[in-house]
């Protein structure tokens, strides 16, 4: 099983550029979410989705956009990259039994 697949694994952007981080899961989970991980701050929720067509903001949504057109995919868009968005990004999907499955992460550097 592929589980949760994130692409790309690494990315360098210039300030002001936009890009999309891809996330796909093959477990038919309803719930998907995006987190960013910064040293000493744990993982903070950016956006989440409770099903296709339904998304909502998490703790740190500014500068990011999401959509959920299918159950499988939950892309995260950076609208205009800033150095403060340098981070490691994780996508997760959650089954009804509450265990979250995480992707391997995308390490993003904004210069």
Partner 1 sequence: AQSVTQLGSHVSVSEGALVLLRCNYSSSVPPYLFWYVQYPNQGLQLLLKYTTGATLVKGINGFEAEFKKSETSFHLTKPSAHMSDAAEYFCAVMRMEKEYGNKLVFGAGTILRVKS
**Residues binding partner 1 (CB under 8 A):** 4, 31, 33, 35, 40-45, 48-50, 56, 58, 90, 92, 94, 97-100, 102-105
Q: Cβ 15 to partner 1, closest distance in Å?
A: 25
Nearer to partner 1, 17 or 75 (CB): 75
Is 40:55 a contact under the CB 8 Å cutoff? Answer: no
Nearer to partner 1, 45 or 82 (CB): 45
Nearer to partner 1, 17 or 44 (CB): 44
Query: Which three-class secondary structure state does DSSP give residue 110?
Result: strand
Antiparallel, parallel or unpaired: β 31-37 and 54-57: unpaired
Which residues, 6 or more positions from 84, have their beta carbon under 8 angstroms from its beta carbon? Answer: 63, 110
Q: Cβ 90 to partner 1, closest distance in Å?
A: 6
SS (H, E, C) 88-107: EEEEEEECCCCCEEECCCEE
Q: Cβ 89 to partner 1, closest distance in Å?
A: 11
């Amino acid at each position: 099983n592929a589980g949760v697949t994130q692409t790309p694994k690494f990315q360098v952007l210039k300030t002001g550029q936009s890009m999309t981080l891809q996330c796909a899961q093959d477990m038919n989970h309803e719930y998907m979410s995006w987190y960013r991980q910064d040293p000493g701050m744990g993982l903070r929720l950016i956006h989440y989705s409770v099903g296709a067509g339904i998304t909502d903001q998490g703790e740190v949504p500014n500068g990011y956009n999401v959509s959920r057109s299918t159950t499988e995919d939950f892309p995260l868009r950076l609208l205009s990259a800033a150095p403060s968005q340098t981070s490691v990004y994780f996508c997760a999907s959650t089954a009804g039994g509450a265990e979250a499955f995480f992707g391997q992460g995308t390490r993003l550097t904004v210069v």
